[in-house]
Structure 1
Amino acid sequence: MKNPNDISNELMLKFLSDTATAEEREAMEAWMADSEENAKYIEQLKSLWSNAESFSLLDSIDLDQNWQGVQSKVNQQKAGNSKIFWRIAAAVVFIVSASFLAKSLLYSPPEQLSITAQEQSDFTLPDGSVVTLKKGATLKYPEEFEDERRVTFEGEAFFDVVSNPQKPFIINADDTETVVLGTSFNLKTATSHTGFELVLVEGKVSFSTPNEKVVLTPGQRVALGPNGLLEKTENTNRNFQAWQTGTLVFENAKMSDVFQDIGNAYNVRFEMENAAFASCTLTARYDQEDLDSILNTLEILFNTSFNKQQETILVSGGSCN
């Protein structure tokens, strides 16, 4: 909802009391048409106006203190008919002017909800946008969207955002802001093992930090570099979405990159004891295979062994052959 201060108390009062000119009524109706929330706000004021005689706040309203000169601001034809008219006017203006009362009596912001994925899962937001959350990802969002669609995110997820040019979709994550109208992309926030990264699949997004802003087109990737500056490049990693699709494809890929992609797909981290093994290459495809099956294949191909220690896997030996 736009701030009630965007429209004058005088104009609101004239509109509610049916004393507005045609031009003033047109301006008020245009403000109400700006958003559904504006229209709802005025309807609530109308209800207050029509029931004001029984509203307990009237007893505590001092016309001179809370709306000095109000009688001079509205057509005097109402003034001589009813003293209660001005007490009602003062009550309404007092409520509109006092922001804490306006919020408590007339408007309640949508409740903020939060979800943390225990396993990979699809989640549908109030606007119909679908977010595939990777295990451990956290998404905070309002119970319903208003002028904008803003969420807060941490972890990794694939966003498929419903198009709505009138209500941009905004993601706050790691002191960054991603603004989209309707698109799909993979977003990963920074962890102790990986950096922040966004890969755009379809559509167009605006990505910004407090100091920089870039616009991405499909196939592009943006990440935070070691110096904290944004780095926009073409995405060359075909496995960036493997955690979601379950498919890993390698073509003459260095083992250092192989272990990084497998680690991201299965939420593990590899540590290689043999530095020379990192330069060996692999050409292979894995579809919907579990981690143990992939590691068994690599043991045979490269004469290596794996030792699991919680979420870290030590890689011993390994030769290119």
Structure 2
Amino acid sequence: MNNKDVTEFVIDCLTDTSNKDKQAALNQWLRESEDNRLLYAELKQLWEAAAAVPPVPFDSEQGWNELLLVIAADTPVKRMFPWKTVAAAVLLLLLGTGIWWWQTTAVRWTTYIAHTADRDSLSLPDGSLVYLKPGTSLKYKQPFSDRTVVLLSGEAYFDVMKAAEHIFLVQAGDATVRVLGTAFNVRIEQNRTEVIVFEGKISLQQNGQNLVLSSGDGNKGTADAASGEILHPQGDYSNQCVWATDDLLFENEEAVHVAKVIADYYKIPALKIPENLKHKRITLHLHNTPAEQAMEILATVLDE
């Protein structure tokens, strides 16, 4: 029997367990070889898993043709049937109902490298957005059902699409960031991974340790692969990722500090603040504000 005939024979026997002739033929076939017994176990497992699959109309002839192409492309092995390849393709044959369901689960990795001079952006298959600093690289699986991204190098800001039943994972070195839906920044540098949360809550994990971070003060965590420790430095890191958010927020900050952050963000020479105003406390919020307008707003706040 060829691959198709064998599979149909086994599925037919699984479908009609009350037929003594079919069961006798199945038992005889199972006694013939170890390969037959292994094949039967794999097909039975797939058959039982099919019970949870909703009926989907399928062109059986086309499905077999595509499956046989996958089998033909597999490297020849000692076994008569490359059934591990078949199982990887998840072939569920619901012959009893006349419905066949076949889904390819072959996984491929997509690698993305930011080449722009300023910042780059990437939309993931689930709708999540990623902003990347120049030279940053990451990869993710296709299909994106497990919502896992591997940060290979650099720094990336994630704005994750909420999906209550699907965790979003970012793997960076030995550290893993787990979220449901939030906005956070991840930077990997040598043996250290740094995470800053801007919205929602995340879990930073490494070597069995777990640190939960929320937006606000103390929203930064670092995982050191060399020491194996997760650190939780305290401070205000609200403006550390303005390169991605274009959102500058200062609450009761000294003018000299505000001026420095603004100059760094707009890549302009250091702003000169009068000596008597350097320690003046100001509150200021700039979002997607042009540089010239930002300077005018800062001057107005200083004169108040």
Shorter-normalised TM-score: what interval? 0.5 to 0.7
Q: Which residue of 2 aligns with 1:5?
A: none
Question: Structure 2 vs 1, CA of residues 180 and 259 (structure 1 numbering), >3 Å: closer, same or farther?
Answer: same
CA-atom RMSD in angstroms = 5.2
Paired residue type of 2:291: D
Structure 1 counterpart SS, 2:49: helix
State the Cα deviation string for residues 57-98 of structure 1 (Å, max 9, x = none).
9xx99xxx84xxxxxxxxxxxxxxxxxxxxxxx52xxx124x
Measured in 2, the distance between the counterparts of 1:50 and 1:248 equals 54
Alignment pair present for 1:155 and 2:154: yes
Q: Which residue of 1 aligns with 2:64?
A: 47
Measured in 2, the distance between the counterparts of 1:195 and 1:258 equals 27
Instruction: State the identity as a percent.
Output: 22
Question: Structure 2 vs 1, CA of residues 169 and 293 (structure 1 numbering), >3 Å: closer, same or farther?
Answer: closer
Question: Structure 2 vs 1, CA of residues 225 and 127 (structure 1 numbering), >3 Å: closer, same or farther?
Answer: closer
- Could you tell me how far 1:252 is from its partner in structure 2? 4.7
- Could you tell me how far 1:171 is from its partner in structure 2? 0.8
Question: Structure 2 vs 1, CA of residues 283 and 128 (structure 1 numbering), >3 Å: closer, same or farther?
Answer: same
Alignment pair present for 1:184 and 2:211: no
Question: Structure 2 vs 1, CA of residues 51 and 163 (structure 1 numbering), >3 Å: closer, same or farther?
Answer: same
Conservation of the 8 A alpha-carbon contact between 1:150 and 1:172: yes
Paired residue type of 1:231: L
Q: Which residue of 2 aligns with 1:246?
A: 246
Aligned ranges for residues 1-321 of structure 1 at < 5 Å?
16-20=10-14, 28-32=46-50, 47=64, 66=79, 90-91=80-81, 95-97=82-84, 108-116=106-114, 118=116, 119-146=118-145, 148-153=146-151, 154-181=153-180, 183-191=181-189, 196-202=194-200, 204-219=201-216, 221-224=219-222, 229-232=229-232, 236-253=236-253, 258=258, 261-262=261-262, 265=265, 280=279, 283=282, 285=284, 287=286, 288-290=289-291
- Could you tell me how far 1:248 is from its partner in structure 2? 2.7
Question: Structure 2 vs 1, CA of residues 175 and 291 (structure 1 numbering), >3 Å: closer, same or farther?
Answer: farther
Structure 1 residue ranges without an equivalent (≥5): 1-11, 67-89, 271-278, 302-321
Measured in 2, the distance between the counterparts of 1:163 and 1:286 equals 26
Structure 1 length normalisation: TM-score? 0.52
Paired residue type of 2:231: E
Structure 2 residue ranges without an equivalent (≥5): 1-5, 18-40, 90-103, 271-277
